């Protein structure tokens, strides 16, 4: 119950962050600025917390190159997510973010060459059918550029999940979060001379809130995984759609189009099937029997995505 409570709060923070991102865009803050300040404002919070608790040593690493590579990929994912939040209604952006497990299955099968059985292939087909419904071919609900960056976020975040899995073998979660923010802010700073400009106090307060909610969401996501199984807590991620819909209605008086009510359940169902199947396999099939005997349909570790939005 503690893990589920932490995950619910994490989704509230995550949805709030993307609401603030969209709100900042309406105040004239550019996407490169949003990328930089989202990362840069989290650094003093993380550093201060580690200093206050006497845990600065957790930042020591011998894998600086891996952190930089993960940050480069993660920053691209954050760029896609931020762009999607500014271009799309929040419920649509949130729903497209749920495609990450689908792309993780495709990466597992097509790039890593691991066996993927009928259950997960069925989920992939079901999920992308939901994407087609959300995209409303022939309709005008979803801008093509917004759809492209929304799906691009799913691809990149799925890729980042595998990088996080590799880093987690030797690095503390807080170290991964800190170095992601450090390198991500450096990468985004390159664009500031071109896109940075003065803003009123209200915009700066929104940027500060983006940094706080994003950082707090990362801590809560990590804490939920510490107190509960992945297969249990990731199901709670779908509650983000509730908060995104609520924010869209309260702030922009914008309710989701009918395509969301039809397509989102398909995408969510696909994610639940993948989560259930990987949880089942991790409990009932050992890696040795799965790969050596050839008797198993498929095997994979549990969903590697610690941060489903690449925040």
- Give the model's pLDDT for residue 257: 81
Rounded to whole angstroms, the Cα distance separating 40 from 52 reads: 19
Q: Is residue 300 part of a domain?
A: no
Spatial contact of 159 and 108, defined as CB atoms under 8 Å apart: no
Rounded to whole angstroms, the Cα distance separating 207 from 254 reads: 23
Least Cα distance to 120 among 308, 309, 276 occurs for: 276
Q: Is the pLDDT of residue 214 over 70?
A: yes
Q: Is residue 83 part of a domain?
A: yes
Q: Is the pLDDT of residue 125 over 80?
A: yes
- Give the model's pLDDT for residue 300: 38
- Give the model's pLDDT for residue 234: 77
- Give the model's pLDDT for residue 310: 55
Spatial contact of 104 and 304, defined as CB atoms under 8 Å apart: yes
Rounded to whole angstroms, the Cα distance separating 10 from 22 reads: 19
Spatial contact of 234 and 6, defined as CB atoms under 8 Å apart: no
The whole-chain average pLDDT of the chain stands at: 85
- Give the model's pLDDT for residue 230: 66
Spatial contact of 132 and 81, defined as CB atoms under 8 Å apart: no
Q: Is residue 203 part of a domain?
A: yes
Q: Is residue 191 part of a domain?
A: yes
Q: Is the pLDDT of residue 47 over 90?
A: yes
What would the pLDDT profile of 151-169 be if each residue is shown by its tens digit? 999 999 888 888 887 887 8
Mean pLDDT of 119-125: 91
Q: Is the pLDDT of residue 199 over 70?
A: yes
Q: Is the pLDDT of residue 137 over 70?
A: no
Residue 21 tokens read as 């991102």
Mean pLDDT of 79-108: 92
Mean pLDDT of 304-310: 49
Q: Is residue 175 part of a domain?
A: yes
In this prediction, residue 231 has a pLDDT band, given cuts at 50, 70 and 90, of low
Q: Is residue 209 part of a domain?
A: yes
CA atoms within 13 A on the CB side of 291: 8
The domain in which residue 190 lies consists of 2-98+143-253
Torsion angle in degrees (nearest 10) through CA of 60, 65, 66, 67: 60
Rounded to whole angstroms, the Cα distance separating 48 from 274 reads: 38
Rounded to whole angstroms, the Cα distance separating 96 from 298 reads: 26
In this prediction, residue 238 has a pLDDT band, given cuts at 50, 70 and 90, of very high
Mean pLDDT of 189-194: 90
Task: Please report the sign of the dihedral spanned by the C-alpha atoms of residue 48, residue 53, residue 54, residue 55.
Answer: negative
In this prediction, residue 285 has a pLDDT band, given cuts at 50, 70 and 90, of low
- Give the model's pLDDT for residue 140: 54
Mean pLDDT of 110-118: 85
- Give the model's pLDDT for residue 116: 84
Integer CA distances (angstroms), 74 to 122, 174, 176, 188, in order: 28, 15, 11, 12
DSSP alpha helices (H): ranges in 118-200? 118-135, 144-167, 173-189, 192-195
Q: How many structural domains is the chain composed of?
A: 1
pTM flag (> 0.75): yes
Q: Is residue 115 part of a domain?
A: no
What would the pLDDT profile of 6-44 be if each residue is shown by its tens digit? 889 999 999 999 999 999 999 999 999 999 999 999 999
Q: Is residue 274 part of a domain?
A: no
């Amino acid at each position: 119950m503690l893990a589920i409570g932490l995950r619910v709060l994490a989704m509230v923070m995550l949805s709030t962050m993307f609401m603030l991102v969209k709100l900042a865009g309406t105040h004239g803050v550019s996407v490169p600025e949003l990328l930089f300040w989202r990362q840069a404002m989290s650094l003093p919070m993380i550093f201060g917390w580690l200093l206050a608790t006497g845990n600065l040593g957790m930042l020591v690493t011998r894998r600086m190159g891996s952190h930089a590579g993960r940050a480069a990929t993660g920053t691209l994912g954050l760029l896609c997510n931020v762009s999607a939040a500014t271009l799309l209604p929040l419920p649509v952006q949130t729903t497209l973010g749920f495609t990450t497990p689908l792309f993780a299955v495709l990466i597992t099968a097509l790039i890593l060459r691991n066996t993927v059985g009928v259950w997960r292939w069925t989920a992939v087909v079901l999920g992308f059918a939901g994407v087609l419904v959300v995209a409303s071919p022939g309709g005008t609900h979803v801008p093509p550029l917004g759809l492209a960056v929304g799906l691009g976020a799913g691809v990149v975040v799925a890729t980042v999940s595998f990088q996080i899995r590799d880093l987690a073998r030797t690095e503390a979660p807080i170290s991964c979060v800190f170095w992601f923010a450090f390198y991500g802010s450096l990468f985004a700073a390159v664009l500031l001379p071109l896109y940075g400009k003065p803003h009123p106090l209200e915009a700066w307060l929104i940027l500060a809130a983006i940094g706080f909610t994003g950082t707090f969401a990362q801590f809560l996501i990590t804490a939920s995984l510490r107190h509960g199984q992945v297969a249990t807590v990731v199901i709670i991620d779908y509650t983000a759609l509730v908060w995104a819909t609520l924010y869209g209605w309260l702030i922009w008086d914008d309710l989701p189009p009918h395509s969301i009510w039809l397509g989102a359940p398909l995408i969510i169902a696909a994610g639940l099937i993948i989560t259930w199947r990987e949880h089942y396999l991790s409990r009932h099939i050992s890696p040795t029997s799965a790969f050596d005997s050839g008797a198993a349909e498929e095997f994979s570790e549990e969903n590697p995505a610690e941060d489903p939005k690449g925040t």
